[in-house]
């Protein structure tokens, strides 16, 4: 039979699975003829996701249960049982696949309710991130290399009646599907074990960061991790970048995990501890991924923000502008510094990178005017979501394509949001900052940024386009603060750039191609604070 597939509800995962089902219905209408959702009592965000997925919206849960022959439930774990009972109350009597992050005992309870009411029940779970599809992935052109290389998420199924659900999802490459056992609860247990590693370890890393913050050993710990446990800091940063905005959903999942361990008389305290961690940072719901830093998470977990009366739910994850391409500041009256992000990154990423920079100025973060022409560096791809941008690309002769448009774009920003007393940049953005300083020294009347008093340059290099060589025949006299890592893969280019800047203060930190923070470059941040005060005093 051809199914009318209903999905409960249009959260991030639910909408993505609904979009996959829509793709199946387009290609195989003899298997799935329609995909429906209801937005009754749902948020505007759910409405937007349903629109993006292109599925049909029915007025109510009652309509959904009457039309659908197959229901897929993907809701917060604490609501899984209530949603199942509600579907029965509204007359559903078809195939019900529960894909929620619940313990096997919860899945078996839901299965009994379904069987008692003449429904076919399938125990399911989604392992991995939301699936991508041509219908729902709105940023396909900006996919990171990690996204492009990763395997699709796994839909695990268990029970005696898995055949029909397996048949449906086997018709797409957007997910993998596997029957992991013939007993109801085995797919849910697969999810619990998988999440114990992913979300459980993330909670542990956040707890470690909070303790290190409380004892003021964060920088020392990060330095030692870099020496002896190089995978630890990236693991922490992945947790910080991806977890806080979703933590409100994870508390219930961790308690289900605790139940799963307790059922077999296994230690469950760490799952309960993880639930406590996620409960403590649930207030970050609504914040963008990457908009929260280590220090902010640690303060929230330690209760310091509440004790100080701080409002940490404002959405401001650092200094300066809002990081989404809007160059407006906060009307602070502070001198403005224009911040130019690195190659194939973004303003929001740079705002996160600059989170520990001194607050004596207003940092204005802008996206480059060119979308990234390819995937970003692997580190960026691992930690941050697209879209990504670049200031220029280059051809085989090392000529920079798109540079003229970027210079005009910056001149326009200066006219509407300047003047800027300083320019800051990282990597490609630092090279652009060096070029802007050279253009100002060469001819202030035509320079995009004619009023610069200083430059903050992290991992800079001298632009290599042959047509720009005349701008660097003489040393650049602007005061500059330059930092780069001892293991920076462009260290030699950074050192060559420094030779063009006789008035630069140069600090080499122990890291690589990265922006210094209080965690990985405490001495650099302290030196920058002193230097910046001196420059502002001179400029005034």
Q: Verify that 302 and 360 share a domain, yes or no.
A: no
pLDDT for position 199: 95
Instruction: Name the strand (E) or helix (H) holding 423.
Output: strand 422-426
Strands annotated E in 262-343: 336-340
Count how many domains the chain has: 3
Pair 97, 76: CB distance under 8 Å: no
Q: Which of 168, 184, 200 lies at the terminal end of a domain, its last residue?
A: 184
Domain assignment of residue 327, yes or no = no
Q: Find the CATH number of the domain harbouring 407.
A: 3.40.50.1820
Judge whether 373 counts as a catalytic residue.
no
Q: Which of 155, 184, 213 lies at the terminal end of a domain, its last residue?
A: 184
Judge whether 470 counts as a catalytic residue.
no
Domain assignment of residue 466, yes or no = yes
Collapsing DSSP to helix, strand or coil, 448 comes out as: coil
How far is it, in rounded angstroms, from Cα 236 to Cα 230? Answer: 11
Domain assignment of residue 87, yes or no = yes
Q: Verify that 365 and 303 share a domain, yes or no.
A: no
Tokens of 99: 């894909």
Question: Of 403, 389, 378, which is closest to residue 343 (Cα–Cα)?
Answer: 389
Q: Verify that 433 and 522 share a domain, yes or no.
A: yes
Q: Find the CATH number of the domain harbouring 266.
A: 1.10.1040.10
pLDDT for position 144: 38
What's the CA dihedral at 412, 416, 418, 424 to 10 degrees?
-50
> Of the listed 427, 459, 483, 500, which one is catalytic?
427
Q: Verify that 413 and 511 share a domain, yes or no.
A: yes
Question: Of 119, 82, 116, 76, which is closest to residue 100 (Cα–Cα)?
Answer: 76
> Of the listed 280, 459, 488, 509, which one is catalytic?
488
pLDDT along the chain (540 residues), means of 10: 93 94 95 95 86 93 96 93 95 97 95 96 95 62 44 95 97 96 96 95 95 87 88 90 90 93 94 94 85 86 56 36 36 85 93 88 95 80 78 90 96 93 97 98 95 97 95 96 92 96 93 79 85 88
Q: Find the CATH number of the domain harbouring 16.
A: 3.40.50.720
Pair 121, 161: CB distance under 8 Å: yes
pLDDT for position 520: 62
| Token pair 């923070």: residue | 517
pLDDT for position 530: 94
Q: Verify that 170 and 196 share a domain, yes or no.
A: no
Pair 535, 525: CB distance under 8 Å: no
Pair 522, 219: CB distance under 8 Å: yes
Domain assignment of residue 329, yes or no = no
| Token pair 């920076």: residue | 488
Domain assignment of residue 252, yes or no = yes
pLDDT for position 423: 98
> Of the listed 3, 370, 509, 513, which one is catalytic?
513
Q: Verify that 70 and 177 share a domain, yes or no.
A: yes
Domain assignment of residue 445, yes or no = yes
Q: Verify that 279 and 381 share a domain, yes or no.
A: no
Q: Verify that 267 and 378 share a domain, yes or no.
A: no
Q: For residue 205, what are the domain limits? A: 192-308
Domain assignment of residue 368, yes or no = yes
Q: Verify that 137 and 200 share a domain, yes or no.
A: no
Judge whether 513 counts as a catalytic residue.
yes
pLDDT for position 141: 35
Domain assignment of residue 322, yes or no = no
Pair 45, 53: CB distance under 8 Å: no
Three-point CA angle 288, 17, 139, nearest 5°:
45
pTM summary value: 0.60
Q: Verify that 505 and 404 share a domain, yes or no.
A: yes
Q: Which of 120, 151, 184 lies at the terminal end of a domain, its last residue?
A: 184
Q: Verify that 299 and 391 share a domain, yes or no.
A: no
Instruction: Give the bridge partners for 504, in sequence order.
Output: 480
Q: Verify that 161 and 196 share a domain, yes or no.
A: no
């Amino acid at each position: 039979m051809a199914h009318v597939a209903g999905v409960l509800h249009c959260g991030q995962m639910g909408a993505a699975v609904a979009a996959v089902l829509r793709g199946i219905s387009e290609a195989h209408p003899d298997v799935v003829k329609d995909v429906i959702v209801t937005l009754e009592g749902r948020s505007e965000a759910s409405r937007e996701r349903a629109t993006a997925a292109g599925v049909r919206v029915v007025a109510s849960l009652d309509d959904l249960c009457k039309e659908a022959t197959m229901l897929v439930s993907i809701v917060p774990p604490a609501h899984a049982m209530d949603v199942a009972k509600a579907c029965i109350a509204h007359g559903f009597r078809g195939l019900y696949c529960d894909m929620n992050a619940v313990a096997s005992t919860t899945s078996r309870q839901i299965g009994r309710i379904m069987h008692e009411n003449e429904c076919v029940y399938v125990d399911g779970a989604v392992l991995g991130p939301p699936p991508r599809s041509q219908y729902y992935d709105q940023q396909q052109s900006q996919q990171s290399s990690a996204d492009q290389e990763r395997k699709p998420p796994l839909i695990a199924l268990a029970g005696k009646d898995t055949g029909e659900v397996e048949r449906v999802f086997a018709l797409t490459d957007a997910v993998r599907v596997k029957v992991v056992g013939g007993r109801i609860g085995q797919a849910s247990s697969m999810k619990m074990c998988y999440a114990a590693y992913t979300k459980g370890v993330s909670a542990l890393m956040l707890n470690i960061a909070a303790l290190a913050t409380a004892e003021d050993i964060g920088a020392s710990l990060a330095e030692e991790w870099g020496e002896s446990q190089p995978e630890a800091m990236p693991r922490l940063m992945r947790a910080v970048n991806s977890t806080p905005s979703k933590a409100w959903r994870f508390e219930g999942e961790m308690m289900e995990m605790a139940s799963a361990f307790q059922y077999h008389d296994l230690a469950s305290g760490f799952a309960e501890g993880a639930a406590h961690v996620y409960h403590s940072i649930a207030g970050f719901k609504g914040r963008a991924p990457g908009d929260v830093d280590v220090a902010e998470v640690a303060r929230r977990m330690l209760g310091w923000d509440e004790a100080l009366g701080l409002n940490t739910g404002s959405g401001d994850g650092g200094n300066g502008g809002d990081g989404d391409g809007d160059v407006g500041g906060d009307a602070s009256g502070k001198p403005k510094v224009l911040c130019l992000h690195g190659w194939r990154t973004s303003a929001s990423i740079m705002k996160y990178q600059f989170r520990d920079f001194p607050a004596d100025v207003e940092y204005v973060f802008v996206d480059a005017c060119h979308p990234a022409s390819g995937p970003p560096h692997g580190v960026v791809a691992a930690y941050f979501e697209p879209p990504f941008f670049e200031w220029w690309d280059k051809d085989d002769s090392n000529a920079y394509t798109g540079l003229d448009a970027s210079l005009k774009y910056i001149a326009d920003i200066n006219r509407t949001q300047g003047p800027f007393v300083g320019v800051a940049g990282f990597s490609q953005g630092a090279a652009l900052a060096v070029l802007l300083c050279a253009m100002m020294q060469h001819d202030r009347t035509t320079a995009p940024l004619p009023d610069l008093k200083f430059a903050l340059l992290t991992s800079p290099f001298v632009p290599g386009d042959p047509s720009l060589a005349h701008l660097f025949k003489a040393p650049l006299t602007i005061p500059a603060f330059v930092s780069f890592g001892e293991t920076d893969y462009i260290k030699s280019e950074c050192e060559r750039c420094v030779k063009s800047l006789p008035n630069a203060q140069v600090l080499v930190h122990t890291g690589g191609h990265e922006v210094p923070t209080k965690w990985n470059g405490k001495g650099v941040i302290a030196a920058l604070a002193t230097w910046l005060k001196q420059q502002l005093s001179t400029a005034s």
